[in-house]
Amino acid sequence: MSLIEFLKNNFFHVAPILMSGAIAGVIIFERFQTLFKTYTLENTEGFLKQIQALVTKGKTNDALALCLQYQGKPTAEVVKAALERANQPEELVMNTIEFTRNQYAEKIQKRTNYLAMIANVATLLGLLGTIAGLIESFSAVGHADPQQKAALLANGISTAMNATMLGLAVAIPCMVIFSFFINKANRLISEVEAGGMTVHDSLQFYSMNGGNHE
């Protein structure tokens, strides 16, 4: 049995798997755009060095202006949030950094875990189609003429294997891309944390030297 015939003859087994694949495709597209374009800050290390240099010299307004050039980038946003409270108590600055960090960590990780769930569901749906195909095959063989048994059995096993293959065809890419996105998300969160630490330490350094922020 060809794959096209399988898809036509087993629509009710196939439709949920294909729907899972379509949902996964939408999530993958959205997450790729967000993680690799919207949230990625080119040369994070250089940005943080500039922030450190400006803040330790008391040039808070210049540092804020630099952050505004990278609006929507989590690392720049956590730095900006801290700088906006530069003249307030350290505890409030730390709370602001932590709150902004958690806010963006949630956004960075948003929907990514659905890919792992879809991979598991697609595998199980493929297994369900496999079992249904085998049940149908052996049931048909039990009532068929001896000359037809071999053909019916082969057809049923083909249906079962195609169901497994389709489920795995959705599940495997989902799991690979899920791991890829998780690694990227962890890197982004680490950069956000580095931004928070850099601006906090720079503010502390300047305050300890008796400076007044611009």
| Ordered DSSP codes for 186-213 | HHHHHHHHHHHHHHHHHHHHHHHTT---
> 103 is written with which tokens?
């806010």
Highest mean pLDDT among 5-9, 104-108, 125-129: 104-108
With beta carbons less than 8 A apart as the criterion, state whether 93 and 207 touch.
Answer: no
Q: 2 pLDDT band (50/70/90 cuts)?
A: low
Residue with tokens 């680490």: 190
> 47 is written with which tokens?
């940005």
> 183 is written with which tokens?
């690694």
pLDDT value at 166 more than 90: no
C-alpha distances (whole Å) from 137 to each of 1, 3, 10, 131, 214 are 13, 17, 13, 10, 79
Average pLDDT, the chain: 87
Q: 7 pLDDT band (50/70/90 cuts)?
A: low
pLDDT value at 153 more than 90: no
% the chain with pLDDT above 90 = 61
pLDDT for residue 157: 77
Question: Of the candidates 167, 159, 138, 122, which has an alpha carbon nearest to the alpha carbon of residue 7?
Answer: 159
Residues 69-106 pLDDT 10s: 999 999 999 999 999 988 888 899 999 999 999 999 99
pTM of the predicted model as reported, rounded to 2 decimal places: 0.83
Residue with tokens 């409030």: 92
Compute the distance between CA of residue 10 and CA of residue 82 in angstroms, rounded to an integer: 58
pLDDT value at 1 more than 80: no
Q: Which residues contact 129 (CB under 8 A, 6 or more apart)?
A: 10, 13, 14, 17, 159, 160, 162, 163, 164, 166, 167
Highest mean pLDDT among 76-80, 138-142, 157-161, 205-209: 76-80
pLDDT for residue 163: 81
Burial 186-211 (b: 16+ CB within 10 A, else e): eebbebbbbbbebbbebbeebeeeee
pLDDT for residue 180: 96
pLDDT for residue 147: 65
